[in-house]
Amino acid sequence: MLLQVKQQDTHPDVLDLREEIERLGHRTRVLATPDAGAIVRCIGPESVIYEIADKHPGVRVLEPSPSPHPLASRHSDQPTSQVIVPCARPLRIGGTELIVIAGPCSVETRTQIVEAAVGVRAAGAAALRGGVYKPRTSPYAFQGLGNEGLEYLAAARSATGLPIVTEVMDPRLVDRVAETADVLQIGARNMQNYPLLDEVARVQRPILIKRGPSATVEELVLAAERVMLGGNDSVILCERGIRTYETSTRNTLDVSAIPVLRERTHLPILVDPSHAAGRREFVEALALAGIAAGADGLLIEVHPQPETALTDAGQSQDLRAFADLMHRVTLVGQALGRPIQRPSSGLGDAA
Ligand code: PEP
Ligand code: MN
């Protein structure tokens, strides 16, 4: 049986708590001591452990029989958790409604990101994506606008009311990015960057974790578990294609990961068909497959002029193609009883 002991002034000291448990005849072992508290494995009768957890406000029972990811696991009839993104009309990711997050791979100029935001909102996207710290294989490639890009994202949010999803790569920049972003994205290359996961666990923002190109589903769930254990329960998972021997697409969308994740975890699941396909012609087919397989929404790259995009030009939709794609995603959603969540009313209605 696992107990989580949060370290706050009002909560019991881990050593005192272990003594108390051991006086009652249990054996205990501290498994980990992340910032958010210690995990204590207790061996002995369950009833005593529940009594102790009831008595101390900072102590919670994680799972009677240890699972590798007690916080992220789906228990028998547990529904999918909804992650709420606070904004004019809070976004709910993981409910009946599907959510579409769209925007360019990279923020390039103020005009570009505002134009993209207005366009994707008009087509029905409920949040704006755009990278300002870009994970680039080549050190000579465009690395993103950094802080300046965050200002442009804030301008796009003011113009449209759309909440912002953007990637953070550097643990030292988590607080700075969280000042602007409504959702922090952990990119595929950083899914196993443990210091970064520990840092984002501290902030009060939902965290979107993309599956690493060579990561198993189980490793993705364990990355989510780490963020939850650190104190942040608002985690969204994203399948974005994995590296296989097939070269016709940039990655291979692992559609099977969607039902597997659905069974294994209660966290909401998104699909990113853009990075899976790598070619704009294939993005819609993969988007529809993702929704049909049960994903809670999509993350799609859209650029007002894709041919000029500084990053991921070949996989970006223009605004017209995105509107068509949204139309067909709506039809598949309707067939499944899952309407698309519309952007909040208010700001940007003129769009
Ligand atoms: C991105 O979303 O632009 C991105 C870099 O994605 P990934 O981490 O999935 O490669
Ligand atoms: Mn990209």
CA atoms within 13 Å, Cβ hemisphere of 146:
5
Say how many Å lie between the CA of residue 122 and the centre of ligand 1: 24
| Residues flanking ligand 1, CB < 6 Å | 105, 131, 135, 187-189, 210, 240, 272, 275
Q: Answer for the pair 58, 14: CB distance below 8 angstroms, yes or no.
A: no
Residue with the nearest Cα to atom 3 of ligand 1?
105
Q: Left, alpha or beta for 12 (phi > 0: left; psi -120 to 50: alpha)?
A: beta
Read off the pLDDT of residues 22-47 as tens digits, 9 standing for 90 and up.
888 877 777 766 665 677 777 777 78
Determine the residue of 138, 143, 185, 271 to mutate for testing ligand 1's pocket, defined as the one with the most ligand atoms within 8 A of the Cβ atom.
185
Report whether pLDDT(209) > 80. yes
Tell me: pLDDT of 1 over 80: no
How confident is the model over 75-130, as pLDDT tens digits?
877 899 999 999 888 999 999 999 999 999 999 999 999 999 999 999 999 999 99
pLDDT band at 60 (very low <50, low <70, confident <90, very high): confident
Q: Is residue 311 within 8 Å of 142, Cβ to Cβ?
A: yes
Buried b (16+ CB within 10 A) or exposed e, 16-28: ebbebbeeeebeb
Q: How many Å lie between the centroid of ligand 2 and the Cα of residue 145?
A: 14
Instruction: Please state the atom number of ligand 1 nearest to the C-alpha of residue 241.
Output: 9
* For the CA of 312, the nearest atom of ligand 1: 3
User: What tens digit of pLDDT does each residue of 91-100 get?
Assistant: 999 999 999 9
- Which ligand places an atom closest to the C-alpha of 283? 2
How many angstroms does the Cα of residue 224 sit away from the middle of ligand 1?
Answer: 17
User: What mean pLDDT is predicted for residues 278-295?
Assistant: 98
- Is the pLDDT at 158 greater than 70? The verdict is yes
Residue from 101, 105, 252 whose mutation best tests the ligand 1 pocket (most atoms within 8 A of CB): 105
Please, is 351 exposed, middle or buried when counting C-beta atoms within 10 Å of its C-beta (0-12, 13-18, 19+)? middle
